[in-house]
């Protein structure tokens, strides 16, 4: 199954993607983690150090020249089936698997984004990024979790139209929920109606009903273990609340039909 995680910046979608991947791997599933967010933080949230992160695909000018300008012609449908294995790094489990199941494999690919001032549109590099992402989502018969760029950019380009489910992550604030509603509307326009809303750092109260927000929702309360951890470590795995998070992830996956 392929699942994308979207929402306003800073709402916790990367953390929830990392929790989901670790839960699946401990259940024996092989998981591809695709960091398509400009913040490039999924690897660190999953327990990797900075020097262990894979090189972002968009910085690989050699691959752009080789695949997009193959034979001297512009190729917008390049062959990329061999790239995921060569671009990925393995990600360790956050906590040991204790259910007697052989753990699955977690692998991370970092897509990257155009951030250099004066760098132009980088259309060639973006074409390669889109081709690799489409290949992983459409062709790989494994679990794929895509951490999308904050906001609605990837949905606007239709990049994730082929995923099986969308997790819209929000804070309990009007601005965040409005962004979530826009994400939900755009996904529905693409035919992606299998959606779930996760309201992170929820303190209670009735959230507003906004057109576009997924009908099904769950909430995650503030977690003291995570708050303390993030002052000294980038990883969000292995928290004191791990059992609570596992139960929430299981509920979320069941809702999405996983």
User: Tens digits of per-residue pLDDT, 158-196?
Assistant: 667 789 999 999 999 999 999 999 999 999 988 899 999
CA–CA dist 72, 74 (Å, integer): 7
The predicted model scores a pTM of 0.90
114 falls in which pLDDT band (50, 70, 90)? very low
Query: What local confidence, expressed as pLDDT, does residue 154 receive?
Result: 63
CA–CA dist 258, 250 (Å, integer): 9
More confident: 258 or 110: 110
CA–CA dist 93, 104 (Å, integer): 9
The values of phi and psi at residue 69, to 5°, are -110, 30
CA–CA dist 196, 215 (Å, integer): 7
More confident: 40 or 14: 14
CATH number assigned to the domain with residue range 2-255, chosen from the 4 options 3.40.50.300, 3.40.50.720, 3.40.50.620, 3.90.1010.10: 3.40.50.300
Neighbours of 210 (CB within 10 A): 15
CB within 8 Å of 187: residues ≥ 6 apart: 6, 155, 166, 168, 193, 195
CB within 8 Å of 184: residues ≥ 6 apart: 166, 168, 195, 197, 212, 213, 214
Domain boundaries, the chain: 2-255
Of 59-63, 114-118, 164-168, highest mean pLDDT: 164-168
Of 72-86, 89-103, 119-133, 212-226, highest mean pLDDT: 212-226
Query: What local confidence, expressed as pLDDT, does residue 155 receive?
Result: 67
CB within 8 Å of 111: residues ≥ 6 apart: 34, 35, 36, 56, 57, 58, 129, 132, 133
Residue 115 above 90 pLDDT?
no
Residue 43 above 90 pLDDT?
yes
For 46-60, b/e burial (b = at least 16 CB within 10 A) is bbbeeeebbebbbeb
Neighbours of 5 (CB within 10 A): 27
User: Tens digits of per-residue pLDDT, 121-130?
Assistant: 457 777 888 8
CB within 8 Å of 173: residues ≥ 6 apart: none
CA–CA dist 214, 221 (Å, integer): 19
**Six-digit token string for 216:** 């099904």
């Amino acid at each position: 199954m392929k699942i994308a995680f979207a929402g306003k910046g800073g709402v916790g979608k990367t953390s929830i993607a990392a929790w989901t991947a670790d839960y699946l791997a401990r259940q024996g599933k092989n998981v591809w983690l695709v960091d398509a967010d400009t913040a490039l933080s999924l690897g660190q949230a999953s327990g990797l150090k900075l020097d262990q992160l894979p090189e972002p695909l968009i910085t690989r000018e050699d691959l752009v020249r080789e695949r997009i300008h193959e034979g001297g012609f512009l190729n917008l449908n390049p062959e990329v089936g061999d790239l995921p294995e060569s671009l990925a790094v393995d990600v360790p489990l956050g906590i040991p698997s204790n259910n007697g199941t052989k753990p699955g494999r977690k692998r991370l690919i970092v897509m990257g984004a155009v951030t250099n001032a004066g760098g132009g549109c980088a259309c060639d590099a973006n074409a390669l990024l889109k081709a690799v992402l489409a290949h992983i989502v459409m062709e790989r018969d494994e679990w794929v979790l895509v951490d999308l760029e904050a906001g609605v950019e990837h949905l606007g380009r239709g990049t994730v139209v082929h995923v099986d489910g969308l997790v819209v992550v929000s804070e309990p604030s009007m601005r965040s929920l409005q962004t979530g509603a826009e994400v939900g509307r755009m996904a529905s326009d693409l035919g992606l109606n299998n959606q779930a809303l996760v309201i992170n750092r929820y303190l209670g109260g009735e959230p507003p009903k906004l057109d576009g927000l997924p009908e099904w929702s769950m909430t995650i309360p503030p977690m003291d273990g995570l708050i303390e951890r993030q002052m000294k470590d980038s990883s969000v795995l292995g928290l004191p609340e791990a059992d609570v998070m596992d139960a929430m992830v299981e509920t979320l996956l069941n809702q999405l039909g996983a």
